Amino acid sequence: MDRIDFRSDTVSWPTPAMRKAMAEACVGDDVYGEDPTVNELEARAAALVGKEAGLLVSSGTQGNLVAILAQAGRGDEALVGRDAHVVCWEAGGMSSLGGVVPHTLATDEMGRMDLTELEEAIRPDDPHLPQTRLILLENSYGARAGAAIPPDYFAAVRDIADRHGLRVHLDGARLFNAAVALNVGADAITRHVDSVTFCLSKGLCAPVGSVLCGSADFIHEARRVRKLLGGGMRQAGIIAAAGLVALDEMIERLADDHAHARLLAEGLATIPGIVVSPESVQTNMVFFELGDEVALNAADVIDRLAADNIWVGDQGPRSFRAVTHYWIGPDEVALFVERLRAVLHG
Ligand SMILES: *Cc1c(COP(=O)(O)O)cnc(C)c1O
């Protein structure tokens, strides 16, 4: 890598094995359902999360949008954490394109909505009110430093949804980070939801794509919505080939990214002026900030690190997010700690 990039795991390049698989992929027209590599990826992805069928989509954002539009209509309400990715970082798609109203609730330190508040937020059948249709969940939870939420929360939300006839969608952009961190199979989490998306292009390192999974009937409808949104791709086996390598080779090794994130947090904790709690690192993200005594702000620090070709994201005027991935190893972690120490202390 010509740069050391901690801004996100989305920056991860495809692996050599992926580039080879892409070059050699068997392809067909996927809108006709004739791309064998896409079909294999969709079947394997669905099996991995215990669902009947899968659908390759262009991004996590498109996967969430397709899932919402396929399960809720105009004026319907979706219950969702107020700091969820689908609320904050997806351009308001559920409202602007689907007419779906997000009903946002507070989340705890791990990104969980309070179950009593969740159940009380469900609307009674009254002509004044929108109809609650959907509950939107996320795991790992990005706004909570990548917290890995255990399966019992999903089981409890499922019970509430069943009592009220609601559907449940999981934004599992980093589902496998959560599952690996919790040491459970992904299906221990996804068995409690109707639909789930996960990203191939984050920690799993593929260049493009997410997979949306659910029942065969749901995916049949989702395929129409994907087409509506301009997401029907033709020889998409080129993309799916990298996705198959991701499923084969890149899931278990996410544990390495988590170990590197902890290593980074421990290193950062040795720098005077950096505030970080290594014990809070659960997956591949480290959130940290500048102590009050530091005169620089986050933008100054980012500029100075960039001069050394080291990239990190800000989370506010004095705070940062660093994300580990396949192209970040112990050497890159050590270099980052060394350079940041030099930026603060000369
Ligand atoms: C990255 C991400 C998405 C969206 O994925 P894109 O491929 O960037 O559209 C959705 N949800 C979460 C939690 C994410 O981290």
Q: For 155-169, what is each residue's pLDDT tens digit?
A: 999 999 999 999 999
Is 80 exceeded by the pLDDT of residue 134?
Answer: yes
Q: What is the DSSP secondary structure assignment for residue 121, as one 8-state letter?
A: T
Q: Which of 12, 58, 83, 89 to mutate to test the pocket of ligand 1 (most atoms within 8 A of CB)?
A: 89
Q: What is the DSSP string of 178-193?
A: HHHHHTS-HHHHHTT-
Q: For 303-313, what is each residue's pLDDT tens digit?
A: 999 999 999 99
CA 208–ligand 1 middle distance (angstroms)? 12
Residue whose C-alpha is closest to residue 210's, from 197, 223, 221, 225? 197
CATH number of 253-345: 3.90.1150.10
CATH number of 14-248: 3.40.640.10
- Ligand 1 cavity residues, CB under 6 Å: 59-61, 85, 138, 142, 171, 173-174, 199, 201, 210
Is 80 exceeded by the pLDDT of residue 1?
Answer: no
User: What's the CA gap between 308 and 311, in Å, rounded?
Assistant: 9
User: What's the CA gap between 315 and 299, in Å, rounded?
Assistant: 10
Q: Which residue ranges make up each domain of the chain?
A: 14-248, 253-345
Residue percentage of the chain with pLDDT more than 70: 100
CA 90–ligand 1 middle distance (angstroms)? 8
User: What's the CA gap between 95 and 286, in Å, rounded?
Assistant: 32
Predicted structure pTM score? 0.97
Amino acid occupying residue 137: L
Tokens representing 310 are 């080291």
Is 60 exceeded by the pLDDT of residue 91?
Answer: yes
